[in-house]
Structure 1
Amino acid sequence: MTGPDVSLALVAGEASGDMLAARLLAGLRPQLPGARFHGIGGPRMIEQGMVSDVPMDTLTVRGLFEVIPRYRELKGIQNRLRDRLLAERPAAFIGADYPGFNLGLEEQLRTAGIPTVHFIGPQIWAWRGGRIKKIQRAVSHMLVIFPFEEAIYREAGVPVTYIGHPLAETIPMVPDVAAARRKLGLAPDARVVTVMPGSRMGELKYLAEPFVRAAQLLRARDPGLQFVVPMAGERQRGYFNEILVKAGLQDVPLHIVDGGSHDAIAAADAVLVASGTATLEVALFKKPMVIAYKVMRASWEIMRHMGYQPWIGLPNILAREFVVPELLQHAATPQAMSDAVWAQLQDAAGRERLAQRFTDMHHSLLRNSAQESADAVLRVIGRR
């Protein structure tokens, strides 16, 4: 297959996968200058030259039971994409995270002889370990972003490459707090709490109100506190504001910013954050944080019995201990969250110890992920 004829299909279903796959595309483009990249992706993948056949937002959904009302719609998108790819026969299919959708698609494509790469490894070490059997059938090569994952997949007979975490490259080892505050119009000596209730609509549904109520309680303790709330897009911002109005919280003084989550984290003295990739971003910025998580009650009852370890936050999982608090479901009350953030704001020595732990973590995750992931894909398609 000659360079100009190479076609690679990719699917990302949410912002974190869009970011990860964009790094992979950045590594592939110089190696395959005439290649065609298409499928489903977000703005960062599109910036790297990918053509998204379906808006990525159409795939975004959260929780177990929340999927049910949209199952037929999502299955239809998956089936149409499968049929198209079976007809086109790309050199490989690359699933960027979003395992519920991508692994099923990958299994069908691989059965038909199309090589599949999954990026990143599903967290079978955290829950749903039985998924490894499906991965064995579906994935030609797994790309993982945490060092301990490599042995897990190798022992299961799944070809695997540890590529490091892309965020470890994009986030500076020493964040520029002053520059971030200038960019956001914050006073250099202000005490700043960044509030991150999530980028998905389902996260905002369950976390926006309690997070802002926690901010309200914190402000009662220190009226000088400033609160920054980064929003992933106009849709999220509109929904967030709608929730605040319904809850009577529209007058809580918040500095809402569109995008700019990294500036918002860099500027912070502490962060209240929804569980997910954002917790790792906060750790790489060396910031104290309180991690919170709430979902539909039925989803929670299932998920809490499926976990294999006591942590859900990525910083705690990587540290193998509770280096930062986790407040889950019923425990994620405004009072508990505000108390935990306040304790961090008052503990200067604890913040310094945490910054050193997170610096060590940053070094352990630092690789040239674009090059490592691109090399792995090139080997899969026979171009290495």
Structure 2
Amino acid sequence: MSVGNTLKHLPLEAMHEEAGARFGAFAGWHMPLTYPAGVMKEHLHTREKAGLFDISHMQLFAVEGAQAATFLSRACPLDTAGLGEAKSKYTVLLNEEAGIIDDLIVTRLGDERFMVVANAGNAVKDEAHLNAIADGFEVTVRPLKRVFLALQGPEAEGVLIGAGLDLSDLTFMTAAEPRQNWFATRSGYTGEDGFEIALPPEEAPAFAEKILADERAQWIGLAARDSLRLEAGLCLHGQDINETTDPASAALLWAIPKRLREEGGFIGAEALRRIVSEGAEEKRVGLKPEGRQPVRSGAPLMNQNRETVGRVTSGGFGPSAGHPVAMGYVAKALAEAGTPLIAEVRGNSVPVHVHPLPFTPHRYHKG
């Protein structure tokens, strides 16, 4: 069975092939994992200059209608009334038990217009979930076909200006519609300053070529995207968060205003209030292994008495941090920074300790 028959393909796949990408499967897509430079150099290039990521596997939804804001406040623990025009907000889709169906970025484009960015592996499920909630609201949820590019790193703004797109007026988590059917936010998944730009597929090759004509920019694959986001302490849905984890345990309550936690009518509100009131039993934390051996997703975490007290959900080597980095869940009593633990890795005991997140400082452009 060929990969082409089972996986979705990016509109710009030919460009990635020409750039020498090594491909692999991710969330149902045929994705570029690395390029000839390799994951270490790609990671460091993004931190030092500008990395271009093809994230067209992500799904954008246009949410429009007279009750679009009310609808989104029901679907998510989101204060849509307080979300200003051209402002973006990180939020979550919850089930009735406050489990995280997906994490999203919601941007207000007008009084009755919003853009929602969802994760690739959850796009079909999210669309069905949103449409089920939309029944009874005056709103439409419309999936968009766009190429989605992320340009990340300290040189990102200058590279974009050189490519003919000046978004220097944007600050972190603000957005613009710079051209017809284009959508851009100053945000990303690396901890660096950067932009995410959605545009029609027919306009994307020429735009990407303009970016890559700048020697400061180069293609970056999924492997470095993962190490960058892990150093930045950012969750990957399906690993660090899923429908069995709630925002309190996942250390994501910062994304939900306190008033909404206490009074909100969003799906999962009652369950979340109960969890917050009783206290989450476990908590997502950063983990720093001693030595050079990374610990990977699925490794059990034990206390000094060799009792299992948690699990690793993401792990690898942090090229910028200079040491292995990981995240996972531990019993709440063990969530303090510096707490010593043991990770079991293929029969070996690797000492780790709880480490503050992020591992590398965020460098968002906040104006």
Q: TM-score by structure 2 length?
A: 0.28
Q: Name whichever structure is richer in strand by fraction.
A: 2
